[in-house]
Amino acid sequence: MTINGNVSFWYAEAGVPKQRPALSGSIDVDVCIVGGGFTGLWTAYYLKQADPTLRIAVVEQRFAGYGASGRNGGWLFGGIAGSRRRYANTHGRQAVLDLQREMNGCVDEVIRVAAHESIDADIVKAGTVEVAYTPAQLKRLQVYVAGEQEWGETDHEMLSADETMSRINVANTLGGSHSPNGARIQPAKLVRGLSDAVERLGVTIYEGTSVEEIRPGVALTQQGSVRAPIILRATEGFTAGIKGLRRLWLPMNSSMIVTEPLPADVWSQIGWSGCETLGDLAHAYCYAQRTADGRIAIGGRGVPYRYGSQTDNDGSTQPETVDALREILVRLFPSTKDVAIDHAWSGVLGVPRDWCSTVGLDHSTGLGWAGGYVGHGVATTNLAGRTLRDLVLRQDTELTRLPWVGRRVRKWEPEPFRWLGVQTMYAAYRAADNQERGGRQETSPIATVADKVSGRY
């Protein structure tokens, strides 16, 4: 029977941790970090190392790693979380190249810290394979790879259909690409290991403590106030739940399923011995990994958005989303048609109105933030953590000059327009994907219109 929710399969495998004590009464610290996902934890990690005298509190509503950081697809990759064109419009080409260099560096930096802190997170750095299985997808892939190379990613290369299938045998492959700047991780193992490392450094993590409102100098909870001259918001897809921030970032759902461990004869048909992360070029794209214990974990959009910016209940996922993901799995790998789905879950990621991630600290209020990673946060959170460290310490560094620093955009539309907009966009993407699977050679104009209207690209 498929387990639905329970946060994620990654915790079913690694074990749901015992919750740390909650805040009990008001406290004074130097830095308060709201949210114990990768963003909050990386920030605490680097900040405490840079200045061990700082009193840092991480305040987390459930447990560290409860959010997307413990539920994601495990793609640790150097892709920029946002549109290069938009960052270049405001900061120029060189600034975007600098951002890309730092993003690629994040992959190795996360691997370095994991090794240094003895965190075994099933990491394999074998890069990312993108696969095209319709003519329109293949055209988009060629444009995408040419764009990557134009932006300095010269080691991102096209693969022929045979080369792609010799790595991962996806049915009906017409071509693919490979980028070396990516690694597979087990997210819950990484985020739990990181939270322990942060605690060892002397940071206090208060769990089971929800921040209701953030004001300059204070974060308010039911259990007491955290007074601090610097308060950093690291709540990503949950940000809408904090007073006054409902329309800042849209909580977009992403859902995943994981198979039972696959028998050897199925793996011999699929290949995938390199454990690259795998994605496709559909408009409503999927992402997948081969897990350390021989399963396929695959994710996609499912029901993209819940009315009123609501989030899920501990990862529980609609049955139609589970069916849709299973259909994608079998379409990609027909030999999985009889395998059991062991677990399904969902999570939320934060999407700003311009689909570009942002990090910043306003020294006049002491309020900082990082997020809006639009589903690219596993590596970007590490850059956010190091950037927030420099901003808090008032250091002018290469990181604080990157084009995503201090970026602010307008809010999302009020309901029902927000809901209608996202529903329309994903209906357009699904229709376009259906047309393309039916043999359409070019990208469907409705998908292009959806991109333009949403501002996604």
Ligand X SMILES: Cc1cc2nc3c(=O)[nH]c(=O)nc-3n(C[C@H](O)[C@H](O)[C@H](O)COP(=O)(O)OP(=O)(O)OC[C@H]3O[C@@H](n4cnc5c(N)ncnc54)[C@H](O)[C@@H]3O)c2cc1C
The binding site for ligand X (CB under 6 A) comprises 34-40, 59-62, 66-69, 71-75, 210-211, 234-238, 241-242, 254, 256, 287, 299, 347-349, 371, 373, 375-379, 381
User: For ligand X, which is the closer residue by CB, 237 or 352?
Assistant: 237
Question: What is 163-192 written as a DSSP string?
Answer: HHHHHB--TT--EEEEESSEEE--HHHHHH
CB of 156 to ligand X, least distance (A): 17
CB of 10 to ligand X, least distance (A): 10
The first and second tokens of residue 457, run together, are: 């690209």
Name the residue number minimizing CB distance to ligand X: 377
User: For ligand X, which is the closer residue by CB, 174 or 257?
Assistant: 257
User: For ligand X, which is the closer residue by CB, 242 or 450?
Assistant: 242
Q: Which 8-state DSSP code applies to residue 308?
A: G
CA-based torsion, 272, 112, 357, 99: positive or negative: negative
CB of 213 to ligand X, least distance (A): 9
User: For ligand X, which is the closer residue by CB, 160 or 222?
Assistant: 222
Give residue 133's identity as a one-letter amino acid code: Y
Query: Taking a C-beta distance cutoff of 8 angstroms, is the pair 320, 327 a contact?
Result: no
Those residues whose C-beta lies under 8 Å from the C-beta of residue 71, and which sit 6 or more positions away, are 7, 8, 10, 187, 256, 315, 345, 346, 347
CB of 436 to ligand X, least distance (A): 23
User: For ligand X, which is the closer residue by CB, 237 or 360?
Assistant: 237
Give residue 243's identity as a one-letter amino acid code: K
End-to-end, the C-alpha distance of the chain in Å comes to: 40
Matching residue, tokens 């699929």:
270
| CA-based radius of gyration for the chain | 21
CA proximity to 197, closest of 45, 56, 32: 45
CB of 135 to ligand X, least distance (A): 27
Does residue 261 have a cis bond before it (omega within 30 degrees)?
Answer: no
CB of 178 to ligand X, least distance (A): 17
Strand pairing class (27-28; 224-227)? parallel
User: For ligand X, which is the closer residue by CB, 58 or 174?
Assistant: 58
CB of 421 to ligand X, least distance (A): 20
User: For ligand X, which is the closer residue by CB, 29 or 174?
Assistant: 29
CB of 191 to ligand X, least distance (A): 7
CB of 58 to ligand X, least distance (A): 9
Give residue 354's identity as a one-letter amino acid code: D
Residue burial 411-438, b: 16+ Cβ < 10 Å; e: rest: ebeeeeebbebbeebbebbbebbebbee
CB of 441 to ligand X, least distance (A): 30
Query: Taking a C-beta distance cutoff of 8 angstroms, is the pair 239, 249 a contact?
Result: yes
Q: Phi/psi of residue 76, each to 5°?
A: -95, 100
Does residue 265 sit in helix, strand or coil? helix
User: For ligand X, which is the closer residue by CB, 103 or 266?
Assistant: 103
CB of 176 to ligand X, least distance (A): 18
User: For ligand X, which is the closer residue by CB, 42 or 429?
Assistant: 42
Rounded to whole angstroms, the Cα distance separating 156 from 179 reads 4
User: For ligand X, which is the closer residue by CB, 136 or 300?
Assistant: 300
Rounded to whole angstroms, the Cα distance separating 306 from 207 reads 26
User: For ligand X, which is the closer residue by CB, 166 or 316?
Assistant: 316
343 C-beta neighbours (distance < 10 Å), count = 25
Does residue 290 sit in helix, strand or coil? strand
CB of 263 to ligand X, least distance (A): 26
User: For ligand X, which is the closer residue by CB, 48 or 139?
Assistant: 48
Query: Taking a C-beta distance cutoff of 8 angstroms, is the pair 244, 99 a contact?
Result: no
Rounded to whole angstroms, the Cα distance separating 101 from 88 reads 15
Q: Name 300's bridge partners.
A: 255
